[in-house]
Structure 1
């Protein structure tokens, strides 16, 4: 009896530990592993489907150029679509897409900026679309890849370029993370729509909201897995810490009804940001819905912000 009791006492914790490891591995693969398709949008966004596909159709009609980085390195090759402005312009916006999307999924924002007279660059992030990469870095590796895209814009369009960084959701966090890097003077402003504070906080929040699971032990184990696979812990992936080093004018946009990236993350990012800053909380907008509720109003706010910091072209 004593031997059986000892085996039971040891076996139960081991079984629980093994189950936790297995669940964490599945969670990591679900959240971080690339998928070679665009997941269907949430039910509350289905009403915008016709408008979305009209923007995609517009993009397909444009004289799109295909740009690449690391062309001779299959493991790190990155691709982007470039849409030149209707008339010659020194201004280019680099648009960072959301989680499990690609450059084409940002066609509506490309249309908006193209109408504002900008060249538009639409990268596929690492682990997305036609770019290489087995795993999604949630903006952390992407922030450095985008430095390469900035250099490509300067090489293609010249050093007189004026560059805007724009992103939504994961893309919003990506440009927030870029804000802490050493950016060339041609980068004039940053616009971040519904970006999260850090991947650690975002993962813990979604675990609790969607799966009713606690942060511990799952997030630390997922972080350890990521350290092994990608070379860094989740605690390293922080918009807040990067924003503390920002010097560029930055405009934060966030839906007041966002329950995917909650509005308290907007306030935390805004408070952390250095440099000139502005904030627009969009009434009644859910996650990444601010544009879709009123595209004209969205463009008006973006234009007003940019006119403050960029003289007329």
Structure 2
């Protein structure tokens, strides 16, 4: 009798553990599916509220609306600002911002480039700011950047050799993709960017318990693209960046062909490189323009 009771108790324990294991597996698979389907929500943080405009710096600007065709066939409008240089025939900088807020949070940087003599086109990807469209993803932001490039080249009739492509953070990955597809651009400036989303995840070790290679759909794999660049490239990064480590710009620099430059700013974080070392930053851009023109 005692043996039967003990056997029954053991069976109950094993049954309980089995059901617990099944529940854990189901929860694990559900989380994997959630990450697979909703990962863009962990990557992009757009805002529809534009808090700062070029008028804050007394910059004369024009609103730009660029049509782009969605996969559904619907035509959606990308919003941007054109800030013309004071001098005619100035270099043009196509500004591609990072993964959060909108172009309003990037007016300060645009102002710096304008002070250096550039005309600047800032655009918001679909889903950001006043731009139309669904929540952004990798393929759509690439398409949006290409739409802005085509606007400058084919509608504004600006020679590609007069256009520099600039990208900050995730915008750097977008800028690299565009530069590879537009090899006749004058040059490329990549600030505080990364090698790939996969390598960022590996560095942070946030998702070690999940099959990242199976789940990941948003790759932004810059490290495999930079060897195909056909133009001068400038990499800028702060050494105290805790969001994207500076060694990733060093890796991008090592993989890129000549001509190239790398500027590491001691003490600078992810968003304040120019504020920490304004003279270094401005001189780096000036020197790069001279390199582009040589």
- Select 2:68's aligned residue among 48, 53, 70: 70
Q: Deviations over 1:163-186 (max 9, x none)?
A: 1001111112221232332x152x
**Residue 11 in structure 1 maps to residue 10 in structure 2:** no
Let me know the Cα RMSD of the aligned residues. 3.0
- Select 2:186's aligned residue among 162, 185, 188: 188
Instruction: Give me the TM-score of the superposition, normalised by structure 1.
Output: 0.78
In the other structure, the counterpart of 1:115 is 115
Instruction: Give me the TM-score of the superposition, normalised by structure 2.
Output: 0.82
**Residue 199 in structure 1 maps to residue 197 in structure 2:** yes
In the aligned structure 1, how far is the partner of 2:113 from the partner of 2:173? 20
In the other structure, the counterpart of 1:299 is 282
Following superposition, the deviation at residue 90 of structure 1 comes to: 4.9
- Select 2:212's aligned residue among 189, 214, 219: 219
Q: Deviations over 1:55-92 (max 9, x none)?
A: 77116x52323231227965743222111222322521
C-alpha contact 2:268 2:276 (8 A) present in aligned 1: yes
* Matched residue SS, 2:163: strand
Q: Deviations over 1:24-55 (max 9, x none)?
A: 5267364146543579xxxxxxxxxxxx9697
C-alpha contact 1:246 1:273 (8 A) present in aligned 2: yes
In the other structure, the counterpart of 1:263 is 246
In the other structure, the counterpart of 2:230 is 247
In structure 2, the CA distance between the partners of 1:55 and 1:218, relative to structure 1 (3 Å rule), is farther
C-alpha contact 2:52 2:104 (8 A) present in aligned 1: no
Larger radius of gyration: 2
Structure 1 stretches lacking a partner, 5+ long: 40-51, 224-232
